[in-house]
Copies of this chain bind each other. A is one copy, B any other.
Amino acid sequence: MDKVFTSAEVANHNTENSCWVALYGKVYDVTHMLSSHPGGAQAILRVSGRDATEDFDPIHPSDTLESLQSALIGSLFLDEESSDATQTKDTPDEIDDNSLLNLEEIEKVATSVISKKAWAYYYSAADDKITKDFNTQVYRSLLLRPRVFVDCRRCNAETELLGWKVGLPIYVSPTAMARLGHPSGEAGIAEACGAFGALQIIANNSSLSPEQVVANAFPTQVFGWQLYVQLDRRASEAMLARVNRLDPIKFVVLTLDAPVSGKREDDERINVQVNPAGSVSTQLFAGTDPSLTWHETLEWLSQHTKKPIILKGLQTHEDVAIAARYTPLVQAVILSNHGGRSLDTAPPAVHTLLEVRKYSPHVFKKMEVWVDGGIRRGTDVVKALCLGAKAVGIGRPALWGLAAGGVQGVERTLQILLDETKTCMRLLGATTVNDLGPHYINSRIVEQQIYQASAIIEHEGAVVCKGKL
């Protein structure tokens, strides 16, 4: 263990006969592991003979390292220029609460300090980013309708999600690779969420294990865990078994809008150059199962967890209506287009929300409807809630906050959104989130753009919803 290798020494071991990799400052001889690697020998050989941390990190649960202990042969001598390209460019000074006024400014700071690789992964979205942009713009087309002469001394943003109390109706969406933005990673986000009573959904590809993320949680803190079903179902079942044992994790979020990866060109452009194994997204999606179907998958899932199930990535009123038939197994849906990262020109969640209001309003009584994508202002939060959402998720903003200032940066992000949300509620004349409703919104412009249903929707022989209502 006290042996120290230079980069040059490691570089000599990049063949099937002698295959070394450096990870997190340590050097491993993984020659004997080539044949049994789930991703194939080639995936290791491509990164052998050098520091492979940046390639290894985002696609391996952090406890993978433990299983490598037997291969550890020493430390890497760190010269100044070593892992330069993928490091954050600059360590941000302690974030100044007063000077960063909104989420856009936080994103700017994060962009200036983060590595290009991380920026490309966080920022990127599918194709021409039409949906990513639309996610934000659509909220600007919704006008608010403030009422006067309402006593707004008290204003309470607390709510309940699936029966658990949370401090605000804003949760952190599952996003992978938080450690690339800041060493505290998803645990740092958890610490910030704890301070606000905010719910957090841990990504399937979290850069820390779920056990690590929830380790220091408050007793009342609520988590969800996101599942991408793996081609190797036993791997998913093993993860579910671990998650089942973690009490702070209250439900399982099955993501459905990305059976294959969208085409995220910023990610591809930058990270393919760094790493011949492909863009970060490509690597993350390598083992995901694209064969899921309603009955089979939910049946399988219900056998491996008793936690409530949330379906994420629904984008049509038809699918929402079908999901409602699976209650109580399914207790909520998240209307999402994956932050515009999956299919470009997919509709913003607000469109789907309005579709559901129009064609399948009964589902609001059967289950909770959450939304994400494009939330950047407290007014956005309030609008989604007025239109029937029970909660709204933030993905990138949490990562930008983390990258800009660690735990404190995420706290600043949540504080800004909470303050803006409450100011908006007060100015509307609403004192609790339950007061919020469509009478506070002029959604006419957006209503004129949503899908005009023209057919009766059936699912497994039953009429699920009718068009032309």
Contacts and interface: CB of A to CB of B under 8 A. Distances in A.
Contacts of A346: 143-146, 427
Contacts of A259: 150, 152, 426-427
Contacts of A388: none
A202 to B, nearest CB: 21
Copies of this subunit: 4
A260 B152 CA distance: 9
A448 B427 CA distance: 25
A343 interface: yes
B101 A268 contact: yes
Interface in A334-388: 337, 342-347, 351, 377, 379
A29 interface: no
Contacts of A256: 148-149
A345 B313 contact: no
Contact of A260 (B98, B291, B314, B427): B427
B128 A377 contact: yes
A347 B292 contact: no
Interface residues of A, number: 74
A149 B447 CA distance: 27
A100 B140 CA distance: 34
Given A140-B345, A426-B290, A148 B313 contact: yes
A249 to B, nearest CB: 23
A130 interface: yes
A427 B143 contact: no
A439 interface: yes
B149 A423 contact: no
A444 B140 CA distance: 20
A182 interface: no
A237 interface: no
Contacts of A408: none
Which 8 residue pairs across A and B have the least CB separation, nearest first? Answer: A148-B256, A442-B451, A343-B427, A151-B291, A149-B294, A101-B265, A152-B290, A260-B426
Given A143-B347, A149-B256, A444-B452, 8 more contacts: A127-B377, A145-B316, A146-B315, A146-B316, A152-B259, A257-B427, A343-B427, A445-B449
29 contacts: A99-B269, A101-B268, A127-B377, A127-B379, A128-B377, A130-B140, A140-B345, A143-B451, A144-B347, A145-B346, A146-B315, A146-B316, A146-B343, A147-B318, A147-B319, A148-B256, A148-B313, A148-B314, A149-B293, A149-B319, A151-B291, A260-B427, A263-B420, A343-B423, A343-B427, A344-B377, A444-B448, A444-B450, A448-B448
Interface of A: 98-99, 101-102, 127-128, 130, 139-140, 142-153, 256-263, 265, 268-269, 272, 290-294, 297, 311, 313-316, 318-319, 337, 342-347, 351, 377, 379, 419-420, 423-424, 426-428, 439, 442, 444-445, 447-452, 455
